[in-house]
Chain A
Amino acid sequence: MHGSRKPREATDALADPFGDFDDLKSGIVRTIVIRRITLAIFSAVALIVVLVSRISWLNPLPYAPVAWFLLTFPFQRFIERQQTLRALHLAHTFFFIAEVALITVLVHLMGGSEWIGSIFYLFTVIYANFFLPRTHGAIVTGLVVAAYAGLIMFEYAGFIPHRSLFQPFEELHENLSYNLATLLAGPVSVYAVVAFTVRTFAAVYARKNRMLATREYQLERMSRRLLSAHDDERRRIARGLHDDLIQSLAAIKLRLAPARDRLGDDTYREICSIVDGAIAETRTLAYSVRPPLLDDLGLVPSLRRLADSVAEESGLEIAVHAEIDDSLDVAVESLLFYVSRECLQNAVRHARARCVEISVSSADGFARLSIRDNGTGFNPHDVQGFGLRGVRERVGVCGGVLSIDSGSGRGTTITVEVPSHDDASTAR
């Protein structure tokens, strides 16, 4: 969860089936867009019906879906403007209440309970119970049930006039048992049950999400532990090579010196050069496993040494700038060294660069590394082959962020920002 840094309030977990505020908001916006498309189709159909069946132009049928369609635009913007979870849920609830009112008016105008359009409540109930917290969802569902049931009973009692578009239903409307049956089948059973069902689904979804989040957290912790074990292991091997193997080789050379006369000059030189070769090979091996300089003298001398040896091999011009204020964790130093090595390799192999600039700094609990080359550049979205994916993953495990600024012909700048102490990343 390195993307969103929006504030998140503590709420009923069920109310937040999406793990992330931005995800929730975009989910809501998607449902509004789907409504808009549906309403555009409704509007077209309604206009055709009016034209074909010669229904009066004063009839509300064609206007309601058009008005509703237009209303989705300001509502979408209203939803998008919300910055906190609480405000987002309130705005969404407000949207549903407006929708319920609109549907109720439409159902009344189009023939009361007999009109099939009462099914529109369905979407409101489903969406409200999926996206809203329990209480907000219950309010919207209650409102749907009350509005629909109230409409049926008020029309039956004559408090509001009954309008019917279709003649055969006229008599049914005056029949109490028909109205009661509709009331039970419609608002009470269908909508209340739908609300309950969707809420159950949402709960399952939220539980799965929480489980996934826990697992992701565990994986992240395990990766970090593995990484540090891997580092320890390499340090141990490099130390072994340096402190034991090379020392023994050096001892051989020292012990040979007094025997020089007995061996003869040529043999002595030959043996010495074999031992020297073994020392050089072991040293190269130890360095590639883990540079001892990193543990003994820290990041900056190691980076300078790295820069020199890469410059020596490749002919690149490499500058190292360092401004380290606070001490860095061993794990962070390892990470930044590893990133620099990978990036330098890329610059040599792929970028055809002439100069590379490595800057490392740390302040306010964050370490920052940037590596800039003047090479050919590449499309940052297509970095599979450049070994950068592994780098990005490793940076992520340490709680850092890697960004790439590159483009054809304008070189590449790779920046890494990471908490300078490991516990800072654990406490996230």
Chain B
Amino acid sequence: MTTRLLLVDDHAVVREALRQLLDAEPDFEVVGTADCGSTGLALALQLKPDLLLLDISLPDTDGLDLIEAFLQQGGDLRVVMLSMHAEPEYAAAAAARGACGLISKSDSPARFLEALRHVAAGGDMTVHHGLTPRERDVLSELARGASDEEAARTLGLRPKTIEGYCQRLMRRFDVHTRVGLIRYARRLGLE
């Protein structure tokens, strides 16, 4: 079963790149694109997509303020925010307004698709910032103050694997210490 997507982003090059990336995947179908919030709303009403990819900064309205307008159109529309920003505060703000999550446009395409599939499959509503469920579990264990060994035991993994997750996440979030990573996770609301 394919997921029908509506893409709202004012940056034409990014919009085109995303469309090509998604169209190349058999399980995604981009049914429409829009370059501003008002066109996007009109299209959403007309096309009834399953999933909306909404840029956080649009020329006419703040993307965050649009989330509710889209959700009020009824149906099972799920909203995923797109952003260029690395700050986790954006993810928290998007989640607070009812979005399923926020994906950074600078993430690798593979990670991008993985996160989208997770939401499309009705995955849990607190996907943050394109984290996979596993990454989220690791992060929230650490944010709760667990050591690598404790986290490994709880999640049924090897401590070495936890360490590997941490290295990758630290690189991705551009933090340089374990303390920084934990602080970042807490800012995401993972605790």
Residues of A within 8 A of B (CB): 242-244, 246-251, 253-258, 272, 276, 279-280, 283, 292-293, 296-297, 301, 304-305, 308, 311-312
CB-defined A-B contacts under 8 Å, sample of 19: A243-B57, A246-B106, A247-B14, A247-B84, A248-B14, A250-B17, A250-B106, A251-B11, A251-B14, A254-B105, A254-B109, A258-B24, A276-B106, A297-B90, A301-B89, A304-B89, A308-B183, A311-B180, A312-B177
Question: What number of residue pairs across chains A and B have CB atoms under 8 A from each other?
Answer: 89
Which secondary structure characterizes the binding site on chain A? helix
Q: Name which residue of chain A comes closest to B113, CB basis.
A: A257
Q: Let me know if B21 and A257 touch, CB within 8 A.
A: yes
Whether B11 pairs with A249 at a CB distance below 8 angstroms is no
Q: Is B184 an interface residue (CB 8 A)?
A: yes
Contacts of B179 in A (CB 8 A): 312
Please report which residues of chain B, range 1-42, place their CB below 8 angstroms from some CB of chain A when the two chains form the complex.
11, 13-14, 16-18, 20-21, 24
Closest B residue to A276 by CB, please name it: B106
Which residue of B is nearest A280, CB measured? B174
A283 with B86: CB separation less than 8 A: yes
Judge whether B85 and A249 touch: CB under 8 Å.
no
Known: A254-B21, A280-B174, A305-B87. A296 touches B62 (CB 8 A): yes
The answer to whether B77 has its CB under 8 Å from any CB of chain A is no
Q: B105 to chain A: closest CB distance in Å? A: 4
Residues B11 and A311 in contact, CB atoms below 8 Å apart: no
Considering the chains assembled together, what is the distance between the CA atoms of A256 and B175 in angstroms?
26
Which one of A247, A255, A304 has the greatest number of beta carbons of chain B within 10 Å? Answer: A247
Interface contacts beyond A242-B57, A279-B106, A312-B183: sample of 5 additional A-B pairs, CB < 8 Å, sorted by A: A243-B57, A249-B106, A251-B11, A305-B87, A308-B184
Determine the distance from Cα of A283 to Cα of B104 in the docked complex, in whole angstroms: 13
Report how far A280 CA is from B176 CA in the complex, Å: 14
Check A312–B106 contact: CB distance below 8 A.
no
Min Cβ gap A14→B in Å is 56
* Complex contacts, A305 vs chain B, CB 8 Å: 87, 89, 187
**How distant is the Cα of A186 from the Cα of B108 in the complex, in angstroms?**
98
Q: Which residues of B contact A257 (CB under 8 A)?
A: 21, 108-110
Q: How far is B187's CA from A283's CA once the two chains are assembled, in angstroms?
A: 19
With an 8 A cutoff between CB atoms, is B146 at the interface? no
Contact partners of A283 in chain B: CB under 8 A: 86
B165 to chain A, nearest CB (A): 19
- Nearest opposing residue in chain B for A252, CB measure: B17
Whether A258 contacts B21 by the Cβ 8 Å rule is yes
3 smallest beta-carbon distances between A and B, as pairs: A257-B109, A254-B17, A250-B105
Determine whether the beta carbon of A253 is less than 8 Å from that of B24. Answer: no
A311 pairs with B21, CB closer than 8 A: no
Could you give, for residues 83-102 of chain B, a 1 whenever the CB lies within 8 Å of some chain A CB and a 0 otherwise?
A: 01111011001000000000
Contacts of A276 in B (CB 8 A): 106
Please determine whether B85 and A242 come into contact, CB atoms closer than 8 angstroms. yes
Chain A hits for B16, CB < 8 A: 251
B58-89, CB < 8 A from A: 62, 64, 84-87, 89
Q: Say which residue of A247, A280, A293 sits within 8 Å of B89 (CB atoms).
A: A293
CA A304 to CA B112, docked complex, whole Å: 27
Contacts of B17 in A (CB 8 A): 250-251, 254-255
Task: Point out which of B21, B56, B87, B109 has the most chain A C-beta atoms below 10 A from its C-beta.
Answer: B87
Contact assessment for A253 and B175 in the assembled complex, using a CB-CB cutoff below 8 Å:
no
Are A293 and B109 touching (Cβ within 8 A)? no
Taken together as a complex, chains A and B put the C-alpha atoms of A108 and B29 apart, in Å, by 113
User: Which residues on the B side are within 8 Å of A251 (C-beta)?
Assistant: 11, 13-14, 16-17
Say how far A44's CB is from chain B's closest CB, in angstroms.
75
Whether the pair A297, B93 counts as a contact (CB closer than 8 A) is: yes
A303 to chain B minimum Cβ distance, whole angstroms, is 11
Find the A residue at minimum CB distance from B84: A246
A residues less than 8 Å from B108 (CB atoms): 253, 257, 272
Taking a contact as CB atoms closer than 8 A, the residue among A248, A280, A296, A304 that contacts B90 in the complex is A296
The distance in angstroms between the C-alpha atoms of A272 and B109, with both chains bound, is 11
| Bound complex: CA A292 to CA B108 (Å) | 23
Are A253 and B180 in contact, with the CB atoms below 8 A?
A: no
In the assembled complex, the Cα of A176 lies from the Cα of B49 at a distance in Å of 116
Distance (Å) between the CB of A153 and the closest chain B CB?
88
Q: What residues on A are CB-neighbors of B57 within 8 Å?
A: 242-243, 296
Closest to A308 in B: B183
Contact A258 B13 (CB under 8 A): no
Q: Which residue of A lies closest to B19 (CB)?
A: A254
> Which residues of A have CB within 8 Å of B62?
296
- Smallest CB–CB gap between B8 and chain A, Å? 14
Task: Enumerate chain B residues within 8 angstroms of A243, measured Cβ to Cβ.
Answer: 11, 57, 84
Q: Is the CB of B187 within 8 A of A255?
A: no
Let me know if A253 and B109 touch, CB within 8 A. Answer: yes
Q: What is the distance, in angstroms, from A293's C-beta to the closest C-beta of chain B?
A: 6
| Beta-carbon nearest neighbor of B23 in chain A | A258
Bound: A254/B20 CA distance, A: 9
A306 → chain B, closest Cβ, in Å? Answer: 11
A249 to B90, CA, bound (A): 20
Asked if residues B174 and A255 are in contact (CB atoms below 8 Å), the reply is no
Task: Identify the interface centre among B21, B64, B106, B109: most chain A CB within 10 Å of its CB.
Answer: B106
Residues of chain A with a CB closer than 8 A to B187's CB: 304-305, 308
Which single member of B11, B24, B109, B174 contacts A247 (CB below 8 Å)? B11
